[in-house]
Structures are given as structure tokens and as C-alpha cells.
Amino acid sequence: MRKNTLILCAVVMMLCCSCQQKSAETTEPVNENAKNTTMEDLLTRRSVRNYTDSMPPMEVIEEICKAGTYAPTGMNRQSPIIIAVTNKEMRDRLSKLNAAVMGADNDPFYGAPVVLVVLADKNVHTYIEDGSLVMGNLMNAAHALGLGSCWIHRAREVFESEEGKQILADLGIEGDYAGIGNCILGYTAGEYPQAKDRKENWVYWVK
């Protein structure tokens, strides 16, 4: 009887240990190397302002959009939307509208063949933060997948204009959307830009 009790205790203890080990395992990073790659991507992404004409594969653009949709949003309201433009006519139209905001007639998209326009629902009070985080995800994902990218501003003014509003209506996009940013994408032409030095006093520690 005593021997049986001892065996039972041993089995229970073994089970407990194995459960604890499992839960510890699941909180550890699945892949140490993946973690370092993420850090490297975050530190080496740069704004690219020189592109080849080549269209990146649609699957890669879809992956980048997917990364955008997984950005955090206030109360998970998911206020932003992405208009993924690979159509040259629409890309050129958006470029012209963007240049017009500056009173210019150059291509503010630097020849990039793809534009991911991020807009967000103005009725959600975190819409600017939500949309900006989507922009960050798009640019970092693009870099991780081997494409150049850059945030191009003036989406707000473009989609406040009559033509901008008409574009949304023609696409069947209804609602109170404000332009947050344009993430241009493509293959980098020429040298990859280097990061400028970081300013002093970026981080104030309180230890």
C-alpha cells in the first residue's frame, strides 16, 4: 500500500514538472533567430526615393498589406483601410493630385510602381494613431520582404479634395475616411540609403 502511494506521488510530480516545462517553453520565443531578424529589419529600413519600373509580385504586395492589417488599433476598432494601387493609371492620378497639393508637377512617388494608401475612419478617436501604425507596419514589412518603401505625405489633402472624394466613391468606399499616408513600394534602384546619426537624448531613462 505504502509503495503504491509513493509511486502515485512520483507520477503526479512528474506530470506537474512536465506541465510547468511546457508553459515555460510556450512563453519563450519560438525562434531566437527570427527575433534578431526583426530587430535588424527595424534598424535597417530606410526611406527609398529611387525605384526601378518593375512591378513586385502580387503575393509580396498582399503579404505587406496583411502586415498592415495586423497593426494594433485603439480598442481594436480597426479604423484604417488600405487602397492597394498597382494600376498605373490610378497611381499616376494619385501622384498628380499629390503634387498639386504642393503646387508642383513632379512625381512625388519617385517612380515607385505601387502605392498603398492608408485612410482611417475619422469617427474613431484614435484614427491618426491607428493609421500611422499601419503605415509603420507596411514600411517595415516591405523592407523585411526585400522592397523599398517611403511614406509620402499629403494623403489628407488629396482625399479632402473633390477628385479624391470621387475616387473613393468610384471605388465604392463609403464613410468618413481621412487620408493618413501613402506608402510607396517597389524595387530599390541604386544605392540603399544610410541612416542619419541619431540625435542626442532620444531616450530619458528612469531606472
Ligand X SMILES: Cc1cc2nc3c(=O)[nH]c(=O)nc-3n(C[C@H](O)[C@H](O)[C@H](O)COP(=O)(O)O)c2cc1C
Rounded to an integer, what distance in angstroms lies between the CA atom of residue 17 and that of residue 102?
66
Q: Does 168 bind ligand X (CB under 6 A)?
A: no
Rounded to an integer, what distance in angstroms lies between the CA atom of residue 108 and that of residue 51?
12
Left, alpha or beta for 66 (phi > 0: left; psi -120 to 50: alpha)?
alpha
Q: Give the C-alpha distances (Å, rounded to integers) separating 167 from 40, 45, 90, 170.
A: 38, 31, 9, 5
Q: Does 183 bind ligand X (CB under 6 A)?
A: no
Q: How many residues does the chain have?
A: 207
- Comparison of 160 and 169: residue with beta carbon closer to ligand X: 160
Q: Does 151 bind ligand X (CB under 6 A)?
A: yes
Report strand pairing: 80-85 vs 177-186: unpaired
- Comparison of 32 and 197: residue with beta carbon closer to ligand X: 197
Q: Does 150 bind ligand X (CB under 6 A)?
A: yes
The full 3-state SS of 10-27, as one line of letters, equals HHHHHHHHHHHHHHHHHH
Size of the site for ligand X (CB under 6 A): 9
- Comparison of 1 and 39: residue with beta carbon closer to ligand X: 39
- Range in contact with ligand X (rule: CB under 6 A) among 60-68, 114-122, 145-153, 159-167: 145-153
- Comparison of 3 and 93: residue with beta carbon closer to ligand X: 93
- Comparison of 23 and 159: residue with beta carbon closer to ligand X: 159
Q: Does 91 bind ligand X (CB under 6 A)?
A: no
Q: Does 111 bind ligand X (CB under 6 A)?
A: no
- From residue 26 to residue 65, the character string flagging contacts with ligand X as x (rule: CB under 6 A) and all else as - is --------------------xx-x----------------
DSSP state of 97: H
CB 186 within 8 A of CB 47: no
Q: Does 156 bind ligand X (CB under 6 A)?
A: no
Among 153, 156, 161, 187, binds ligand X (CB under 6 A): 153
Torsion of CA 37, 184, 113, 179, to 10 degrees: 140
Torsion of CA 184, 113, 115, 109, to 10 degrees: 50
Q: Does 152 bind ligand X (CB under 6 A)?
A: yes
- Range in contact with ligand X (rule: CB under 6 A) among 7-15, 122-130, 147-155, 163-171: 147-155
Q: Which residues contribute to the site for ligand X (CB under 6 A)?
A: 46-47, 49, 150-153, 193, 195
